[in-house]
Amino acid sequence: MGVFKWPLFFVFLWFKVVQTEASTWTATVPSSVQGIDGSCVVIPCSYNYPEPGKQIAGYTGIWYKVIEDVIYHKDKNQIKQEFKGRTELVGDITQKNCSLKIDPLRQSDRGPFYFRIELGGYERYSYRNNEVSITFISAPQPTVSVKEEVVEGQTVSASCSVSHSCPSSPPEFTWTHSGEKHFQSQQLT
């Protein structure tokens, strides 16, 4: 190949590879998330689709339980009765965020689940190869720690922490001493 043909060939090859990577139906979800019965759980999810070359007329995100039960749909009439009022798409579907919240979580909500996108005026795709299940854990016990030695009559700081599965409803702690409640809320990650 001539001196000018090689650089053009590599530019074309690079463009083709980049175009191919951005032009596939992909979803990213964990294979499993942990949840506590009665709390909520958020299933993180993102998706991608081939570039349509035109404006998308509308986005419809649907979550299914593998046996074809609809657990989330913007048309509430499509949702299976046992999931009505308990599922919410917390991601921005137009920004390729398909994260789902189930609240309250029930023992029967083990899954597996998968996501489907319907792009108005373009295509529809079910990410069946990207299933997520829910593993139930028992409610974790809080961990209380005191950094300094406790001496009568002196102020002491204590901290309490606990793992949880519901970012939108973090646990609340109440401290009591001599029957007097002290409440201080602080959002932690």
Residue by residue, pLDDT tens for the chain (189 residues) are 555 454 444 334 343 444 444 579 999 999 999 999 999 999 999 999 999 999 999 999 999 998 889 999 999 999 999 999 999 999 999 999 999 999 999 999 999 999 999 999 999 999 999 999 999 998 888 888 888 888 888 888 888 877 777 777 777 777 777 767 666 656 655
d(CA 104, CA 124): 29
Sign of the dihedral through C-alpha 68, 74, 76, 78: negative
* CB distance 52 to 38 below 8 Å: no
pLDDT at 143: 87
What's the token pair of residue 8? 């053009």
Calculate the dihedral angle through the C-alpha atoms of 9, 13, 14, 20, rounding to the nearest 10 degrees.
160
d(CA 46, CA 138): 28
d(CA 124, CA 175): 52
β-sheet bridge partners, residue 41: 102
Considering only CA atoms, which of 103, 110, 131 is closest in space to residue 30? 131
pLDDT at 186: 62
What's the token pair of residue 52? 């349509």
